[in-house]
C-alpha cells in the first residue's frame, strides 16, 4: 500500500521545530490529565511515533496506525521490544474494518484532518472505534488564525471570518499534479461536525501561538514554551493560533 508520505522525509521536517513539537505536547499532557482511566489508546496517523512517548505511559495497550509503511518502519525500530505497542498499516477509511468493535478508550489524531475532505465520515469512523464515554484528542489546521485573518482583511475581505468553507492550501500546480489534500478548517465547522457525530467537546486549546521565526531567533525554546503554556487556554477563545486542539468525549 503506497502513501503520499512514502516519498517525503517527514522525520527531517521536525528538525528545528522543537517549539512546535513542544507546543503539541503541552496540549496533549493537559488533555490526558482530564481522562481518569485509559486501557487502550489508538493513534491514527501516528507516523514514525513522534507523539507516542507523550502518552504511551497512560495505557496498557497502544495501537499505532498510519497509511505510510516507511514511517511505520521507523516507529517499529523505535519501539522494538515494547510489547504493549501494536503497529499496523491502514488508511483512516479502512480502519473500522481492521479494528473490530469498540476497542479504544482514547483516539488521538494530530496533523491528519488537514488531509481529509469529509470530516463527518472521519469522525464517524472514530466513533465506531471508541468505547462509550471514550475520549478523542483532535488537532486541525485553523483557517481563522490571527495571521490569516489580518492578511485577508488587508486584502479587503471583511467577511473572511464568516466564511465557513475550508481553505485549500495547495498551490495551483500541486493541485494539478495530484498532491495530497491540505485543508485549513473553520473551528465552528469542526465543532459542529463533532457534535453531529456524537461527541461533546470537553476543552479546546489554541496551539503554536507564538510560532515566529523572529521570536525563535530572539527567545529560547523553553521561554517560548513557557509562554505557550500560559496562552493556550485563553487564546482558544478567539482561535488565535494556527493549530487547534480539541478534547472531545463520545456520548455514553
Q: Give residue-wise pLDDT tens across range 105-135.
A: 999 999 999 999 999 999 999 999 999 999 9
Helix (H) or strand (E) holding 109: strand 104-109
Interval 146-175 mean pLDDT: 85
Distance CA 251, CA 182 (A): 30
The predicted pLDDT at position 97 comes to: 85
C-alpha cell of residue 152: 485577508
The predicted pLDDT at position 177 comes to: 65
The answer as to CATH 3.40.50.150 being correct for domain 4-250 is yes
- pLDDT above 70: residue 223: yes
C-alpha cell of residue 12: 527531517
- The burial of 218, by beta-carbon neighbours within 10 Å (0-12 exposed, 13-18 middle, 19 or more buried), is given as exposed
Is the distance from CB of 138 to CB of 201 less than 8 angstroms?
A: no
Task: Give me the percent of the chain exceeding a pLDDT of 90.
Answer: 81
Residues 6 or more apart from 54 whose CB is under 8 A from it? 25, 28, 29
Task: Give me the percent of the chain exceeding a pLDDT of 70.
Answer: 96
Bridge pairing between strands 130-141 and 243-250: antiparallel
Cα Rg of the chain (Å, integer): 18
- The burial of 32, by beta-carbon neighbours within 10 Å (0-12 exposed, 13-18 middle, 19 or more buried), is given as buried
Distance CA 48, CA 82 (A): 15
- pLDDT above 60: residue 2: no
What's the DSSP call for residue 142? B
pLDDT digits (tens, 9 = 90+) for 88-105: 999 998 898 888 777 899
Bridge pairing between strands 104-109 and 40-44: parallel
Distance CA 88, CA 104 (A): 15
- pLDDT above 50: residue 206: yes
- What is the overall mean pLDDT for the chain? 93
Interval 27-55 mean pLDDT: 97
Q: What is the pTM of this model?
A: 0.94
Amino acid at each position: 500500500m503506497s502513501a503520499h508520505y512514502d516519498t517525503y522525509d517527514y522525520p527531517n521536517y521536525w528538525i528545528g521545530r522543537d517549539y512546535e513539537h513542544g507546543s503539541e505536547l503541552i496540549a496533549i499532557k493537559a488533555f490526558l490529565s482530564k481522562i481518569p482511566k485509559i486501557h487502550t489508546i489508538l493513534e491514527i496517523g501516528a507516523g514514525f511515533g513522534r507523539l507516542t512517548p507523550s502518552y504511551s505511559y497512560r495505557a496498557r495497550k497502544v495501537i499505532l496506525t498510519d497509511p505510510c509503511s516507511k514511517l511505520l518502519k521507523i516507529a517499529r525500530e523505535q519501539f522494538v521490544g515494547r510489547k504493549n505497542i501494536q503497529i499496523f498499516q491502514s488508511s483512516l477509511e479502512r480502519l473500522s474494518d481492521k479494528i473490530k468493535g469498540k476497542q479504544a478508550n482514547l483516539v488521538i489524531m494530530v496533523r491528519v484532518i488537514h488531509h481529509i475532505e469529509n470530516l463527518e465520515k472521519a469522525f464517524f469512523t472514530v466513533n465506531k472505534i471508541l468505547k462509550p464515554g471514550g475520549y478523542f484528542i483532535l488537532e486541525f489546521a485553523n483557517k481563522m488564525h490571527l495571521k490569516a485573518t489580518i492578511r485577508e482583511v488587508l486584502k479587503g475581505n471583511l467577511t473572511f471570518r464568516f466564511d465557513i468553507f475550508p481553505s485549500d492550501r495547495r498551490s495551483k500546480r500541486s493541485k494539478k499534479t495530484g498532491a495530497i489534500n491540505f485543508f485549513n478548517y473553520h473551528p465552528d465547522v469542526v465543532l459542529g461536525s463533532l457534535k453531529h457525530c456524537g461527541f461533546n467537546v470537553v476543552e479546546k486549546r489554541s496551539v503554536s501561538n507564538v510560532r515566529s521565526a523572529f521570536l525563535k531567533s530572539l527567545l529560547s525554546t523553553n521561554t517560548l514554551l513557557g509562554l505557550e503554556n500560559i496562552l493556550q487556554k485563553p487564546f482558544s477563545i478567539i482561535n488565535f493560533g494556527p493549530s487547534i486542539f480539541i478534547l472531545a468525549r463520545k456520548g455514553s
